[in-house]
Structure 1
Amino acid sequence: MKLLNRLHSIQFKLTLTFLLILLPLVSVSVFANNYSQSILDDQINDRTRGALLTTLEYVDQLTKNMDQQTLLISLNSSIVDIWNNIDNPLSPDHLYGLHTVQQQLSALTNVNGSIKEAFIIHGESGNGVSTMTGGLRWPDVKQEFWFKQTVNSNGGLVVHVPTAKVGGASAYLNSDMIYYSRLLDMQSNSKEPNVLVLAVDKISVRKIIQHLQTSDNMNIKLAYNNGFVLETNPNAIHGNGSEKDVMSIKEESNFWSIELEQPRSELFKLTHRLQQFTYLIIFISIIMAVWIAWLVYVEISKPLSKLLAAFKQFSGGSLNTQIVHRRKDKFGAVMNGFNRMAEAQRLLIEEDYVKELRLAKSEFSLLQSQINPHFLYNTLDSIYSVAYKNKIHEISEMVINLARFFRVSLGKGRETFTLEETVQHLMYYIRVQQIRSDHFTVVITLEESTKSIQILKLLLQPVVENAIIHGLERNPSGGELRISSNLEDGFLFIQVEDTGLGIPPEKMNHLNSELSTITSHTYRISKSSPPDLYFGLKNVKSRIKLYYGEQADLQVHSVVNERTKVIIKIPLGKDEA
């Protein structure tokens, strides 16, 4: 229950509103941060891959250069002829030729600074000549891995990087060198072919890729045919034990491949700071939103609490309730409005309500207060005795019916009668009018279910009086007065219709306009027209509105020279429905 109350509280709604306002800003900030980082990542990848491919082209160009150099030497007839058809190149008979080959190889190494050593191995004896050592003895060269590769290459260039994993240990080859080997005479059918080898120092290759080294924490690996060649900074990544935070980019070209490794924390150091700054701003914004929501809630809660307490006091009957404040804002205006409303309500209840109640009661018994019943009864009885004594039967009948009508209508004690009793009492008055004019008839049709329904007394008399005086008496040919009733949709309908002269349209519009101003809240007769104009109909509508409520109504319909009908609509109570 407490949780539901908090969810429906103004403070929670205000806080949620402020957070929802921040949500798009936070989302855009996070998205922009991540998007910029992804763009930066893509740009770094593209630029790095471009640099790696360019570097690979240089390395590959070096390999192509070695391929051309070895090819030129292997096709040099002066060198090939010296090495063909000899058993041992180090024998005294071949010293001059061997010296000539050494000079030519030395010239090659002097021209191409990347070549540190060049040597030729005689496959039969394992002896040879080197630019560094002169004579070369290598009896087990045929067992070397690189030698077998060169023999099996059918004259193609073989690149060999001595490592413990590839080819095993070598008696002569140095792990700091990259060796490019080729058969000396590709067209020779010798069983033990001669092999030309050019050795390039790894430092030369390292210089090619060294320009990519832009950080002390960066490492660049070079491999040939998936075999390791060299790396620029092996301790930068593996020594720090931060392999999970390493960005690795690898490119391949022909048999060469190059891979760049760098910690992400270093690469995105600036963007990481920007991201932290963004998250800090988001956190501060959320704290500010909650704090501002609390301040706004306090500013709203205090005046609302005062208003709520004042309303409770006023609804509890404390009509003198007033809110004391010094506010100049809209809440102050609302509190001032409440104070004025409370004062107005107090005056209305204490003054106007009592007056209206007394006025309603006096109007409700208007007809009863206009005549002294006892004086009227005694006078009518005296007139009746004189008329009966002098045998004037019309006068005596009129008087006795009139006396009966007033005795019931003006009698104290009962305010309502059944519809059947009301019509019986009304017939006393109608009979008086018939004796007086004697040129209209009466037809009464009451639904059986309506006869026992209680209605206000003197409700139909003003309507019938209007029908006789303003309708039937003005018709030279007489007419007919019809009174009927029926039930429909929980309402009692009473119709009083005459076949008189009817009401002209202009007068009918004015009558309806006057009647439309009467409601259950404005039940007093309107003073916009003379008091005696439509007094009977206004009195009837005012009384039914006051007694039965807003659903009760009185309607008038008329056709000139044909008829006028008055319909009284009365809602039924639960016990009458």
Structure 2
Amino acid sequence: MFILIPIFAVSIFSNYRSSRILQEQIGERTSSAMLSVINYIDLSMQNAFELTTVLANDNDLNRIFVSAGKELTPESLLDFQKATNQLVSVTTSVNRMISQASLFHSSSGILLSTSGYQHISEKDSGEWARIAMEANGKTALYFPAVNKFNSNHQPDPIYNKENLVVMRLMNVLRQPNDNIVLLPIKKQYFADLIRDLLPRSGAQIYLLTDKGQLVVNSMGDNSLPPLSPEKTIEIRELPGGSDQMLIVKAVSAASGWSLVMIQPAKAIFHDTTQLKWWTFGVIGASLIVALWMSLTIFNGIARPIKKMVHAMKQVRNGQLETVVAHDRQDEFGYMMDSFNLMTQGQRHLIQDVYEKQLRLAKTEFKLLQSQINPHFLYNTLDTIYSEAVLNGADELGEMVLNLSRFFRYSLGKGRETYTVVETFEHLAYYLAVQRIRCQGQLIVHSRIAPEAKDLHVLKLAVQPLVENAILHGLEKKTGTRELWLSAQAVNGVLQIDIRDNGIGISDERLAAIKESLAKIRAFDFDLIVSESRSSADLFGLRNVKARIKLHYGEEANMEVDSEEGTGTRIRLSLPIAMLSAEGNTTK
């Protein structure tokens, strides 16, 4: 999926760059067309300005003004009428945007035109006359603010909001005076020119003078552009609006007049916007496909590999029953089947070797039993007991009797397990012999919980632990020697505790014992440890734990706790579910 990131980046950049190029090209073409129009308007206005110069310095007109004096007579008005008609015919033939001309006689306040004359009050003529006087012989522009009608009830060309008036003082080259020549120009002429620039509906265009005065706009009203653009081409929002607008401005280098066009950007970039959304759609679809492919690859490759690794870790931790469940028919399915067959074969191999070693251990044990003639041993012990009683050696007789009973239990054939009660009775024979050896200083406390009495335990599973407690704990202790034996069932587990108040075990030695015992597991190949390969105090402990692991499984355990100088406690924990009330154990 990361491979698609450069493609997405290039696509987005290409869309952005294409929009920028389109904006620049449209702006440049629009600006070029607007410059052509503004140059044509400059040429037209230059013609109008030159025409006012010609009229202002016309000898016939100036002579009529001089001969008329300060007050115009009917003859003077007639002369002006003729001159004005001649003036209009000349101007209209030269410049089609001018339909008529007017002359203003400042002294009398009379405005003469082709449609007649009228007396203009100083109040009415104040604004445009002031503008012409301030120009001091230069061309001036006047934008009428209201409409008025002349004496013939026709729209006055000077007071018509649809006109732009070009003005200049008369007789500029000789002796300037207050008389003014006025040329009204219809704004519609400019509107027709700029309207052809509009590319589509929704666009607006404005023609402005060098002073920022509105000449005309495409809407036909007197509204100015909503903003003054700082750049020739830019895209921005209008004040109070939310849509992006393309603003193009063209300024005449000669006159300073300008054209400002405003059009919605979405109309211009409609096709590119559609292409952009198509691109985003393709990118989104590609992402979905990439995610789907990633999940497919993960489910097809990464997940089965993780499952295999997890199963391998479980097998490495000793969980040989691990099986990788799957329904695949591909190479991974073949690998998982091979793994399952391998673990199954390993389990079978371990079980075969394990059972072979178990049979070997049993054979060795039975061989040892067979080497002893029980009847000869029992008869010999009975003879010694009888002689001891006849000679008054009661203590010796009791020792021999208990020893005989102990061997009858230990060498008894045909039974592998005994109940807890029977096991404790056997321990009582052994402890009776040990009590005589300790000269009566051994005190034994025995307790069996009712629920544990009839549970069967492996033969000789407890006696080595009791022997270990006496030999390594109590014999080396001075004073009273006490031994506690108890059996109880707790949460499905038979707990047999052997506790003494002997000399205890040092921390260093206890750690070594625990480490050695922790290595013994149910599937350990070295379950039966010979005495030559283990220290004296560990031999019995290791073999007992190996036997209970062998017979009761991994849940069976043996714990050793001790405090130096205080005593030692050994606890056998046997799962009751693995015990049988008939006297057999589950292997």
**Cα offset, 1:399, TM superposition:** 2.2
Instruction: Give the corresponding residue for 2:103.
Output: 120
Q: Distance in 2 between matches of 1:294 and 1:512?
A: 49
Instruction: Give the corresponding residue for 1:553.
Output: 558
**Cα offset, 1:159, TM superposition:** 3.6
Are 2:133 and 1:179 equivalent residues in the alignment?
no
Aligned residue identity for 2:541: L
Alignment of 1:377-416 (within 5 A): 377-411=378-412, 412-413=414-415, 415-416=417-418
8 Å contact kept, 1:479–1:499: no
More displaced, 490-499 or 283-292? 283-292
**Cα offset, 1:29, TM superposition:** 4.2
Are 2:71 and 1:86 equivalent residues in the alignment?
yes
1:197 to 147, 160, 182: 182
1:466 to 468, 475, 479: 468
Cα deviation, 1:137-165, whole Å, max 9, x if unaligned, reads 4237679xxx9975665634664599999
1:33 to 8, 12, 15: 15
Instruction: Give the corresponding residue for 1:429.
Output: 430
8 Å contact kept, 1:380–1:400: yes
More displaced, 39-48 or 282-291? 39-48
Alignment of 1:194-343 (within 5 A): 196-200=181-185, 220-222=205-207, 228=216, 249=247, 258-260=259-261, 267-268=268-269, 271=272, 275=276, 278-279=279-280, 282=283, 285=286, 289=290, 296=297, 336-343=338-345
8 Å contact kept, 1:440–1:472: no
**Cα offset, 1:334, TM superposition:** 5.5
Are 2:495 and 1:495 equivalent residues in the alignment?
no
8 Å contact kept, 1:80–1:184: no
Alignment of 1:16-31 (within 5 A): 26=8, 29-30=11-12
Pick closer, same or farther for the CA change 1:465–1:378 going to 2, 3 Å.
same
**Cα offset, 1:430, TM superposition:** 1.9
Secondary structure of 1:401's partner? helix
Instruction: Give the corresponding residue for 2:231.
Output: none
Aligned residue identity for 2:571: I
Secondary structure of 1:459's partner? coil
Secondary structure of 1:482's partner? strand
Q: Distance in 2 between matches of 1:498 and 1:125?
A: 143
8 Å contact kept, 1:121–1:195: yes
Instruction: Give the corresponding residue for 2:533.
Output: 530
Cα deviation, 1:252-280, whole Å, max 9, x if unaligned, reads 99xx9844266858854895697378458
5+ residue gaps, structure 1: 1-17, 129-135, 186-192, 232-244, 308-316
8 Å contact kept, 2:483–2:501: yes
How many residues are paired up?
498
8 Å contact kept, 1:381–1:400: yes
Instruction: Give the corresponding residue for 2:116.
Output: 139
Cα deviation, 1:170-212, whole Å, max 9, x if unaligned, reads 4879999743358999xxxxxxx986412458799689979x9
Q: Distance in 1 between matches of 2:69 and 2:449?
A: 144
Cα deviation, 1:377-418, whole Å, max 9, x if unaligned, reads 455334433443444423321222123334445555572433
Q: Distance in 2 between matches of 1:294 and 1:166?
A: 85
8 Å contact kept, 1:213–1:219: no
**Cα offset, 1:120, TM superposition:** 0.9
Q: Distance in 2 between matches of 1:100 and 1:324?
A: 107
For normalisation by structure 1, the TM-score amounts to 0.57
Instruction: Give the corresponding residue for 1:442.
Output: 442
1:541 to 539, 545, 563: 545
Instruction: Report % sequence identity.
Output: 29
8 Å contact kept, 1:440–1:481: no
Aligned residue identity for 2:498: Q
8 Å contact kept, 1:518–1:525: no
Pick closer, same or farther for the CA change 1:208–1:264 going to 2, 3 Å.
same
2:568 to 552, 565, 570: 565
Q: Distance in 1 between matches of 2:50 and 2:543?
A: 128
Q: Distance in 1 between matches of 2:578 and 2:292?
A: 61
Q: Distance in 1 between matches of 2:105 and 2:19?
A: 60
Secondary structure of 2:283's partner? helix
Q: Distance in 2 between matches of 1:127 and 1:444?
A: 149
For normalisation by structure 2, the TM-score amounts to 0.57
8 Å contact kept, 2:246–2:263: yes
